[in-house]
Chain A
Amino acid sequence: MDVRSRNEEVSPQLLDLIPKAKKEWRMNEEGRTQNNKNTKKDKSCCEERKLELRLGPPGGEDWFLPHNHNTKNSDESVLYLGYFPSQQTEKISTSPWACSSSSKASSFLQFPSCSPQSMPEKKAFSSSSSANPAVSSNISQKRTAPGPVVGWPPIRSFRKNLASNGISKTAHETQQQQNDVADKVAGKKPVVDNVGKGLFVKINMDGVPIGRKVDLNAYDSYEKLSSAVDELFRCLLAAQRDSSAGGIKNKEEDEEKAITGLLDGSGEYTLVYEDNEGDRMLVGDVPWHMFVSTVKRLRVLKSSELSAFTLGNKQHKKAT
């Protein structure tokens, strides 16, 4: 099935296309070849073809109804949606529209389907890449894992973060992050906690009933985070003290006490966090970027109560 030779014809009639379509379809049934898939991509991606189509009532017309008109001189009684694409000579490279969507779509069509050895992890695309140069660049490299597909599998964002307990860290984390990035590229906030372009995580402080959120992308070091936490909770803490003192404001106690020593255990409070495996860790142990990639929420605990808290596994770890 050589599409290029068909293109050289002047104006194929609808009648011609129909048996070909049927033939193609039957060929697919017998033995799917990558070549077939590629030729379909050739047909569609920015190449010239002339199609004559008839606008008829829904479902009421036979797709295979033969008719004898010439392409140009259409019959008045029937509305033709003549489709005459641009000239053959138009080069794709000069147009600002690089038809990138076609290569994007085609990469999904390249999954080898009927080969017995197709396993989920290893997809080696060794098929006839020569047939379509536009596609070959996508499939030349060996793929060990399916790339992030936006919106697939079709589950809602609020379900995505639920099952992060006990799954193998690397595979899930990478895929999850890739998906989140892909989702962001698609233009929608992927996770309930991510508002806009920030990485918002919840932070709760002992003695303060209302939790807050911090945007970790706004900081690049633990020191900056620590001072941000100080600012965030200083007033709230003072307000709590005031209210617990019965609302009587003492002039001397009006000054808000700074919250210091969050990172080294020297202060009244210490900053801890929960990572994506549910473990509770002291903030500051790992490099900043690693912290940012694994942190799920933050807590500001009273240093005196640190030992009471299990800095370790969560209560119900997944049974292996």
Chain B
Amino acid sequence: MPRIAYAFPDEVLEHVFSFIHSDQDRNAISLVCKSWYEIERWCRRSIFVGNCYAVSPVMVVKRFPKLRSISLKGKPHFADFNLVPEDWGGYACPWIEAMASAYPWLEEIRLKRMVLTDESLELISKSFKNFQVLVLSSCEGFSTDGLAAIAANCRNLRELDLRESEVEDLSGHWLSQFPDSFTSLVSLNISCLGSEVSTCALERLLAGCPNLQSLRLNRAVPLEKLVNLLGRSPNLVELGTGAYTSEMQPDVFSDLSRAFVGCKQLKSLSGFWDAMPYYLPAVYPISSRLTSLNLSYATTESPYLVKLVSECRNLQRLWVMDYIEDSGLEALAVSCKDLRELRVFPSDPFGLEPNVALTERGLVSVSEGCPELQSVLYFCRQMSNAALVTIARNRPNMTRFRLCIIEPRKPDYLTLQPLDAGFGAIVEHCKNLRRLSLSGLLTDRVFEYIGSYGKKLEMLSVAFAGDSDLGLHYVLSGCDNLRKLEVRDCPFGDKALLANAAKLETMRSLWMSSCNVSFGACKLLGQKMPRLNVEVIIDERGPPDSMPESCLVEKLYIYRTVAGPRMDMPGFVWRMEGDSALRVS
């Protein structure tokens, strides 16, 4: 094709594009014309694949030959709550292998909810000469042997973050595999590991890495050792303690306090397993510096807890157990005017009676007192429409609202009405709401509200709610920006699903379990929509050919894809297409 005289040369365009970082903008650029597509794909350095099955590794490597950073997500979100069976999928291996041969200069790999083996970790450690960042969020399938390979071979490693992964803990010796010459570590998160890590190895590592800013230890690191470690890493910005408990010794207390003060950049604290009230005040001297505090493992009821939280006047993020109670949240609302994110976890999620004085009042107080509050995750045992309306009116800037009323289908405890009006107010007032999780007693009406008002909603989680297909229909037809919908135990069925089939291609994924979707509808959907993978998870191991059309499907996962059926489905997952179910293995 002849070059048009007045067009920019490729190099200029490439330089311009290098200022564009957001994925959406990059995608938009690539759609302008063929030559822009070509230029853009050669200079794209980082991609995010929200569903690892939406595209294949081969396709990615073919389109983007020069990637430096890749993020992948595997299993559906409900896998976090054991709704997705073992061996469902989400294997990172094919991706790692493809990248090992295509991207010798790959620097960053971030995986979430994927299965990763020691072999893959070893392959990573040996294939990428300038490998710097490994983040494994809620992953599994690997052991500390794989970590040893990373430690031993990645000379330029900056970040090793194992957040909430399930690691087979063979021993703590892997940490000793970092060579003596290793200096590049900036961030280390081993909080999910069970076994003891050699403190000597840790101390040696910290001594050699002056740029360490984030250190999250695991529970097995005792409090006394923490003091030494803090002494060796004075530049820490984020710290995750180990078990925050010990014999009550005043000199340990004062050493600890001094160590905290010595880390002059320290802004974020987490860990605090088994937190003893005696040692909580050791944090007081630095409380005004803290912007993030994660006390969600601190199983301690204590006025010290509330005092600590109230002292952190610059707190932006607080994760805490419901031991904080309404009174503690009221104190939080008075003191922490910069609070942006609050998460309150249940201390006794399976108990029948409330064990703490935490109700909707705590959340209402915070919504009133904290003008910057945008993100909420709240577990409680009672809620009212009035409270939700108040919260909505107080905080129209809310962007993430996840409420879990522990008992399914619980109505407004004051009026015994469904909570439709309350959640309706949330979606109506919070015009930038991107994420919403519902609970309590809800009829189809709440979905009508969500469909009408939730125009910016991207992710919706629904459980034990609704009356009929109308509920699902309202959401699928009304929420223009919906990307992820996950539903469990709702009477949503074929009608709404089939009528909104085309919507599903505009979304990343839909999960439905224990709903009223029939096998026949799944087959029909799979037949008519070739660019969706309609995957049915069944309990029996046999082929679903003998399953009657009208029989209900227990678990259904639908996602858009350009990669066709996936090749790694286990025996209990079937892809629906046409008259017979297909499983390619």
Q: Which of B346, B470, B495 contacts A25 (CB 8 A)?
A: B470
Q: Are A97 and B551 in contact (CB under 8 A)?
A: yes
Residue A246 lies at the interface, judged by CB distance under 8 Å to chain B: no
Residue B520 lies at the interface, judged by CB distance under 8 Å to chain A: yes
Residue A312 lies at the interface, judged by CB distance under 8 Å to chain B: no
CB distance from A178 to the nearest CB of B (A): 8
Complexed CA–CA distance, A153 and B440 (Å): 12
Complexed CA–CA distance, A79 and B24 (Å): 32
Complexed CA–CA distance, A24 and B444 (Å): 11
The A163-192 residues at the B interface (CB cut-off 8 A) are: 163, 165, 167-168, 171-172, 175-176, 179, 183, 186-190, 192
Residue A90 lies at the interface, judged by CB distance under 8 Å to chain B: yes
Q: Are A81 and B524 in contact (CB under 8 A)?
A: yes
The B439-488 residues at the A interface (CB cut-off 8 A) are: 441, 443-445, 461, 463-464, 467-470, 473, 476-478, 480, 488
Q: Are B552 and A192 in contact (CB under 8 A)?
A: no
Query: Which of A41, A145, A315: most chain B CB closer than 10 A?
Result: A315
Complexed CA–CA distance, A260 and B245 (Å): 32
Chain A residues, CB < 8 A from B514: 101, 104-105, 108
| A156 with B477, Cβ < 8 A, contacts A28-B443, A53-B495, A97-B546 known | no
Stretch in contact with the other chain, from B74-82, B104-112, B148-156, B261-269: B74-82
Residue A19 lies at the interface, judged by CB distance under 8 Å to chain B: no
Q: Are B349 and A153 in contact (CB under 8 A)?
A: yes
Q: Which of A101, A111, A150, A188 contacts B553 (CB 8 A)?
A: A101
Q: Are B516 and A29 in contact (CB under 8 A)?
A: no
Closest to B547 in A: A97
Q: Are A54 and B499 in contact (CB under 8 A)?
A: yes
Complexed CA–CA distance, A81 and B404 (Å): 36
Q: Are B194 and A83 in contact (CB under 8 A)?
A: no
Stretch in contact with the other chain, from B52-60, B285-293, B361-369, B407-415: B407-415
| A24 with B467, Cβ < 8 A, contacts A59-B477, A120-B352 known | yes
Q: Are A156 and B498 in contact (CB under 8 A)?
A: no
| A151 with B78, Cβ < 8 A, contacts A63-B499, A83-B524, A105-B552 known | yes
Query: Which of B192, B195, B351, B411: most chain A CB closer than 10 A?
Result: B351
Q: Which of A160, A186, A210 contacts B83 (CB 8 A)?
A: A186
Chain B residues, CB < 8 A from A154: 80-81, 404, 437, 461, 463
Chain A residues, CB < 8 A from B164: 156, 158
Complexed CA–CA distance, A157 and B321 (Å): 15
CB distance from B407 to the nearest CB of A (A): 5
Q: How many residues on B have C-beta within 8 angstroms of the other chain's C-beta atoms?
A: 101
Closest to A144 in B: B352
| A172 with B550, Cβ < 8 A, contacts A25-B470, A105-B515 known | no
Q: Are B301 and A319 in contact (CB under 8 A)?
A: yes
Q: Are B548 and A113 in contact (CB under 8 A)?
A: no
Q: Are A188 and B85 in contact (CB under 8 A)?
A: yes
Q: Are B352 and A145 in contact (CB under 8 A)?
A: yes
Complexed CA–CA distance, A211 and B171 (Å): 9
Complexed CA–CA distance, A79 and B529 (Å): 11
CB distance from B223 to the nearest CB of A (A): 13
Q: Which of B85, B352, B491 contacts A44 (CB 8 A)?
A: B491
| A163 with B348, Cβ < 8 A, contacts A55-B501, A95-B548 known | yes
Chain B residues, CB < 8 A from A101: 514, 539, 551-554
Complexed CA–CA distance, A175 and B542 (Å): 32
Q: Which of B347, B437, B539, B550 contacts A46 (CB 8 A)?
A: B550
Q: Are A85 and B550 in contact (CB under 8 A)?
A: yes
Chain B residues, CB < 8 A from A44: 491, 493, 516, 518, 552
CB distance from A170 to the nearest CB of B (A): 10
Chain A residues, CB < 8 A from B444: 25, 28
Residue B14 lies at the interface, judged by CB distance under 8 Å to chain A: no
CB distance from B264 to the nearest CB of A (A): 31
Closest to B503 in A: A58
Chain A residues, CB < 8 A from B224: none
Chain B residues, CB < 8 A from A202: 194
CB distance from B30 to the nearest CB of A (A): 24
Residue B130 lies at the interface, judged by CB distance under 8 Å to chain A: no
Q: Are A163 and B493 in contact (CB under 8 A)?
A: no
Q: Which of A55, A100, A111, A193 contacts B498 (CB 8 A)?
A: A55
| A315 with B245, Cβ < 8 A, contacts A151-B78, A156-B81, A172-B351 known | yes
Q: Are A211 and B553 in contact (CB under 8 A)?
A: no
Q: Are B409 and A211 in contact (CB under 8 A)?
A: no
Q: Are B409 and A59 in contact (CB under 8 A)?
A: no
Chain B residues, CB < 8 A from A85: 518, 520, 549-550
| A46 with B351, Cβ < 8 A, contacts A55-B528, A316-B276 known | no
Residue A47 lies at the interface, judged by CB distance under 8 Å to chain B: yes
Chain A residues, CB < 8 A from B553: 101
Complexed CA–CA distance, A210 and B199 (Å): 12
Complexed CA–CA distance, A85 and B548 (Å): 9
Q: Which of A28, A155, A165 contacts B349 (CB 8 A)?
A: A155
Chain B residues, CB < 8 A from A319: 301
A42-83: contact bitstring with B at CB < 8 Å (1 yes, 0 no)?
A: 001111100101111111010100000000000000010101
| A58 with B502, Cβ < 8 A, contacts A48-B550, A155-B346 known | yes
Q: Are B350 and A179 in contact (CB under 8 A)?
A: yes
Complexed CA–CA distance, A41 and B238 (Å): 52
Q: Are A167 and B355 in contact (CB under 8 A)?
A: yes
Residue B334 lies at the interface, judged by CB distance under 8 Å to chain A: no
CB distance from B201 to the nearest CB of A (A): 12
Complexed CA–CA distance, A156 and B82 (Å): 9
Query: Which of A63, A86, A146: most chain B CB closer than 10 A?
Result: A63
Q: Are B348 and A209 in contact (CB under 8 A)?
A: no
Q: Are B501 and A81 in contact (CB under 8 A)?
A: yes
Chain B residues, CB < 8 A from A188: 79, 82, 84-86
Residue A195 lies at the interface, judged by CB distance under 8 Å to chain B: yes
CB distance from B459 to the nearest CB of A (A): 14
Residue A248 lies at the interface, judged by CB distance under 8 Å to chain B: no
| A114 with B416, Cβ < 8 A, contacts A51-B495, A85-B550, A167-B351 known | yes
Q: Are A190 and B82 in contact (CB under 8 A)?
A: yes
Query: Which of A48, A151, A167, A210: most chain B CB closer than 10 A?
Result: A151
Complexed CA–CA distance, A230 and B190 (Å): 31
CB distance from B467 to the nearest CB of A (A): 5
A290-320: contact bitstring with B at CB < 8 Å (1 yes, 0 no)?
A: 0000000000000000000000000110110
Residue A116 lies at the interface, judged by CB distance under 8 Å to chain B: yes
Chain B residues, CB < 8 A from A158: 164, 192
Chain B residues, CB < 8 A from A102: 516, 552
Residue B196 lies at the interface, judged by CB distance under 8 Å to chain A: yes
Q: Are B406 and A153 in contact (CB under 8 A)?
A: yes
Residue B521 lies at the interface, judged by CB distance under 8 Å to chain A: yes
Q: Are B516 and A105 in contact (CB under 8 A)?
A: yes
Q: A101-B554, A151-B78 are in contact. List 12 more A-B contacts (CB 8 A).
A: A29-B445, A47-B550, A54-B499, A55-B499, A59-B476, A95-B546, A96-B546, A113-B409, A187-B85, A193-B194, A210-B195, A319-B301
- 15 A-B pairs with CB atoms under 8 Å apart are A28-B443, A45-B552, A46-B550, A81-B499, A81-B501, A83-B498, A92-B548, A102-B552, A114-B416, A150-B81, A152-B408, A186-B85, A210-B171, A210-B172, A316-B245
Chain B residues within 8 Å of A, Cβ to Cβ:
78-86, 164, 166, 168, 171-172, 192, 194-196, 198, 245, 248, 273, 276-277, 296-297, 299-301, 321, 345-353, 355, 379, 404, 406-409, 411, 416-418, 437, 441, 443-445, 461, 463-464, 467-470, 473, 476-478, 480, 488-489, 491, 493-495, 498-503, 506, 514-516, 518, 520-521, 524-525, 528, 539-540, 542, 546-554
State the 5 A-B residue pairs at the shortest beta-carbon distance, nearest first.
Answer: A151-B81, A187-B85, A58-B503, A175-B350, A163-B347
